[in-house]
Amino acid sequence: MSTNVLEVQDLQTHLHLRRGVVKAVNQVSFSIAYGETLGLIGESGSGKTMTGLSLLGLLPRPAGRIVGGSIRLNGRELSQLNQATYAAQIRGKEIAMISQDPMTSLNPVFSIGSQVAAPIRRHRHDTDQTALALATEELHRVRVPSPALRISHFPHQFSGGMRQRVIAAMATACRPNLLIADEPTSALDVTIQVQLMDLLDQLQDESGAGLLFITHDLGVAASLCDRVAVMYAGSVVETAAVTDLYAAPAHPYTRGLLASVPRIGIKTERGRLFSIPGTPPDPLDLPMGCAFAPRCDLVKDRCHRESPPLIDKGGREIACFEVQ
């Protein structure tokens, strides 16, 4: 049908907590093409991580549940898939994740080799020995020095950057079509960040996989992504090519977000740091209508009554009655 590796349509994910239901992902739609990098941007609590977990089928149990919409990977519907199938056929094989914190994302009591080999063994049904040989190659590919020696080492013997490479090797060992990187750089030094982003670029180039890059860091997103989707309170408020978005943010929230980041080359509106007034809404008690309405300077009555749909507007999608 298309060259899209992933199409997400009206995805709704709820967290059923004791105190109530959190609509963590609320009617989210986006797509990623092969070889494309989509940045998913938002503050913490905006639902971007939940979106990533929804794609992986790793919502917290028993609270998290996909209650609506569809996730299509290469045309295959994932949202109704059971856990066993998800684990056997999707995770690590079709979709993989590079997680937030390299320091804690590797199991401290297993050797690097066995951890990298685990998905290979799982998805290719290789013998332990072949899997270990392949794991060595993978480590080589992510430029871990002397991998044959390092496979018998343990995570605590690796630096943070090296661990992140190991994680990348583990995630991409089975050449997934979609890679989800959830804040992979936030815990790293800036120089290491750059190296890792290079690596991600390289891996993506090699495999032609789509990459969903989840971050709150607008700068990182700008340097790595082709397109960007901005999330606020569980909904995507704006999707655009990265250059367009940074050049001319359309949604009031996006504008506020960009304005609040001090950046070289982009002038802030009033010449000083800006912060969006108010606070994000209580996820347990989202307001009627547009979730951003209480903080929006363009707010109209209608915004409090109806949720603005995400509407295509000349190559970018915006969910705002006023901007449309």
Partner 1 sequence: MARYLFSRLWQGLIAILGAVLIVFIAQRLAGDPLALLLPMDASEADFEALRVELGLDQPLLVQFFRFLQSVLVGDFGYSYQWQTPALDLILDRLPATLELAVAGLLFAIVLAIPLGVFSALYQDSWVDRVAKVFAMLGQAIPSFWIGLLLILFFAVTLNWLPAYGRGNLSHLVLPAIALGWYPVAAMTRTLRSAMLDILQSDYIRMARSVGLSERAIIWKYALRNAAVPLATMIGVYFANMLGGAFVVEVVFAWPGVGRTVVEAVFNRDFPVVQAGVILSAVVFVLVNLLVDLSYGLIDPRIRHGR
Give me the residues that bind partner 1 (CB under 8 A), please. 56, 58, 83-84, 86-93, 96-97, 99-101, 104-111, 115, 118-119, 122-123, 154, 156-157, 167, 170-171, 173-174, 180
Nearer to partner 1, 99 or 254 (CB): 99
Nearer to partner 1, 207 or 268 (CB): 207
Nearer to partner 1, 70 or 100 (CB): 100
Nearer to partner 1, 157 or 159 (CB): 157
Give me the least distance between CB of 163 and partner 1, in Å please.
Answer: 11
Give me the least distance between CB of 157 and partner 1, in Å please.
Answer: 7
Q: Phi and psi at residue 149, in whole multiples of 5°?
A: -80, -40
Give me the least distance between CB of 177 and partner 1, in Å please.
Answer: 13
Nearer to partner 1, 83 or 243 (CB): 83
What CA–CA distance (Å, rounded) separates 113 from 31?
34
Give me the least distance between CB of 209 and partner 1, in Å please.
Answer: 14
Give me the least distance between CB of 164 and partner 1, in Å please.
Answer: 12
Nearer to partner 1, 103 or 298 (CB): 103
Nearer to partner 1, 158 or 321 (CB): 158
Nearer to partner 1, 56 or 276 (CB): 56
What CA–CA distance (Å, rounded) separates 112 from 91?
20
Give me the least distance between CB of 275 and partner 1, in Å please.
Answer: 31
Instruction: Report CA dihedral (57, 201, 39, 29) to the nearest 10 degrees.
Output: -50
Nearer to partner 1, 177 or 239 (CB): 177
What CA–CA distance (Å, rounded) separates 16 from 116?
34
For residues 181 and 211, is the Cβ–Cβ distance under 8 A?
yes
For residues 213 and 39, is the Cβ–Cβ distance under 8 A?
yes
Give me the least distance between CB of 306 and partner 1, in Å please.
Answer: 37
Give me the least distance between CB of 293 and partner 1, in Å please.
Answer: 34
Give me the least distance between CB of 108 and partner 1, in Å please.
Answer: 6
